[in-house]
Homo-oligomer: A and B are copies of this chain.
Amino acid sequence: MRRMKTMRDMGEHAVIAALTANLNAAGDDCAVLPLDHEYDLVLTSDPLIQHVHFTAEAAPEQIGHKAVCRVLSDFAAMGAEPQYLLINLVAPPEQDFQTLEKIYAEFSRLWKLYGAEVVGGDLAQGPVLELHVFGVGRVPKGTALRRCGAKPGDCIYVTGPLGCAQKSGKQFTFEPRLEQGRALRESGAVTAMMDISDGLATDLRHILKASRVGADLDSSKIPILGTLEQALFDGEDFELLFTSPQAFDFPAIGNITGRTEELRLDGMPLNAKAFEHFRK
């Protein structure tokens, strides 16, 4: 008998690709659907799971911050405006209530800062603390920034320094780049955009695949926190990564090339290496 394939055998990206093959999932940070003559509807969801996305050392406010701001960062990546959040909270019976109160206080604080209001959700029992945040927002019709428009010759930009987001605690305190995302959309000059959650190298590959182009990064231009390797592979930076033929007041870290799906660093091919769920 052939052994069944497990999630560990396949890895996160292969499982997502196989499961969504029959669905209309574009693979952008958010799903974009027609809403009315003025706006498109923008939808996204992100899970935050104890022992995976945070540990017992994380403060309640940090957990709440990361859960909501990961979703807000997805909206920033499309140049979209978040409006409503629904949150499924999972907790074990022995979960102390005070921690949850502090998590929800952070939701209220973020609502005042970014305008995304928690309007619903659910509460259920489970083995560990989890927050599943679902976001609803909008973007002017046909203007959402996607991963598929990068062109050879475009410059590659990031909105801030990369690396060590887990070690430095930035993963729990980052500001979602909503303002920058909106301004970049309004510029009309951005060809592709996403946020950096899995690391520059992995996430840039998503743009290369969606746009059918290649890229050459210049290591001396990448704004680094820690080492170059950390900047390329750590992830959870939640800065925006975008391409444009125009000049912008952000670090330009390389260029889009015509060599489909080939990622180079200083002219040399860069091997795949990144955190991926289920694989070690």
Contact = CB atoms under 8 A, between A and B. Distances in A.
Interface in A126-171: 126-128, 130, 132, 134, 136
B126 A7 contact: no
A222 interface: no
B49 A126 contact: yes
Interface in A1-40: 4-10, 12, 15-16, 18-20, 22-25, 30-31, 33, 35-36
A41 B120 CA distance: 13
- Tell me the interface secondary structure of chain A in the complex: mixed
Interface range, A side: 35 or more
Contacts of A123: 12, 15-16, 19, 277
B94 A6 contact: yes
A55 interface: no
A277 B125 contact: yes
A46 interface: yes
12 contacts: A6-B96, A19-B123, A22-B104, A33-B84, A45-B121, A51-B127, A52-B125, A88-B88, A130-B130, A132-B132, A132-B134, A134-B134
Contacts of A124: 47, 49, 52-53, 277
A250 interface: no
A93 interface: yes
